[in-house]
Amino acid sequence: MRSNTKAREAILNLLQSNTNRQFTVEDIANEVILNGIRIPTATIYRTLVFFEEQKLINKFVVPGENRACYQGIPKGRDCSKHYHLKCNTCGKLIHLDCEIMATFTTHMENEHGFAIDLERTLLYGICVDCKILGAGK
Amino acid sequence: MRSNTKAREAILNLLQSNTNRQFTVEDIANEVILNGIRIPTATIYRTLVFFEEQKLINKFVVPGENRACYQGIPKGRDCSKHYHLKCNTCGKLIHLDCEIMATFTTHMENEHGFAIDLERTLLYGICVDCKILGAGK
DNA sequence: TTGCGTGCAAAGGTTTTGCATGGCA
DNA sequence: TGCCATGCAAAACCTTTGCACGCAA
């Protein structure tokens, strides 16, 4: 398994340099240009599957969309340990570090017998920035 | 707008009789048979769009799948008022009625400025039943 | 009769796969 | 040289759309 090819490097770099932005395959195809040449979508898909297995990126589908989005995981961050908030408006992903979450997770486990899977769970809503912008309208 | 045709009635009945189960379009095509005749997928899709607009069903995509799932909303239940838990193993959807959730939502709002959208948010994990089964293996 | 749902087929879009080629170790 | 990523094209899949027909009011 080789992970240091030019295409893989460029794609991973794009995603890891913008960890709070989500990319469609089309976005990646448009933004990653090597020597003036676009990367074929087949290669992009294969690369994304590879990185997802390595837990370097997350894949998810935004409700209402009909295609997948991919997002880089910040280096050294273990995304199975905290919650994620996703803004409906701007698409931003927020890695939430907050004490109360452990309480919440424990409550769900003890009172409802439900073991939350943090890697899959995404809390949708409206972030501060978008709320302010929306209020200004 | 007519909602009482045979096809619509049968599809809605299936979903509302199994509100903690999620159905793909294929599932519906396999299970709703009228006079020995399957309902064409085009009709199923159109019906599901219709019911989603009426807020009689929810649509969502399970991580790892590449197609949509649909789930009936229990009658008289306002799904924009409570959280939903979804079991990774059996697929069951649980409508969560619990006091702590309001606290949690308020905390997210006040401390993090994030207004959670309950209609989109799905908490994934393992339910009690599946945990017990898994432990027994 | 009129309107809207239905059925069938075709189209559209995303994602996957097969196979030959090419690059890195 | 050998292995694996790449490129291209085709296929597979899910979903939507167009159009003619049929059923219910």
Q: Is A30 helix (H, G, I), strand (E, B) or coil?
A: helix
Cα A105 from Cα B83, distance rounded (Å): 14
Q: Which domains does chain A have, with CATH numbers?
A: 1-74 (1.10.10.10), 78-137 (3.30.1490.190)
Percent of chain B surpassing pLDDT 70: 95
- DSSP letters for A33-71: EETTEEPPHHHHHHHHHHHHHTTSEEEEE-TT-SSEEEE
What span, in angstroms and rounded, lies between the C-alpha atoms of A28 and A50?
15
Name which of A69, A123, A129 to mutate to probe chain B: the one with the most chain B Cβ atoms within 10 A of its Cβ: A123
Chain A interface includes B90 (CB < 8 A)? no
Per-residue pLDDT of B86-137, as tens digits, reads: 888 887 888 888 888 888 899 999 999 999 998 888 899 999 999 887 665 4
Put simply, the answer to whether A114 touches B98 (Cβ < 8 Å) is: no
Per the structure, the residues numbered 58 to 77 in protein chain A that have their CB within 7 angstroms of any atom of strand C are 66-68
Contact call for B116 and A122, based on CB within 8 A: no
pLDDT greater than 70 at residue B66 = yes
pLDDT digits (tens, 9 = 90+) for A93-102: 888 888 888 8
Judge if the beta carbon of A37 is closer than 7 A to nucleic acid strand D: yes
Is A44's pLDDT higher than 90? yes
3-state DSSP assignment of residue A111: helix
Q: Report pLDDT for B119.
A: 82
B116 and A94: CB-CB below 8 Å? no
Question: Is A45 in CB contact (< 8 Å) with chain B?
Answer: no
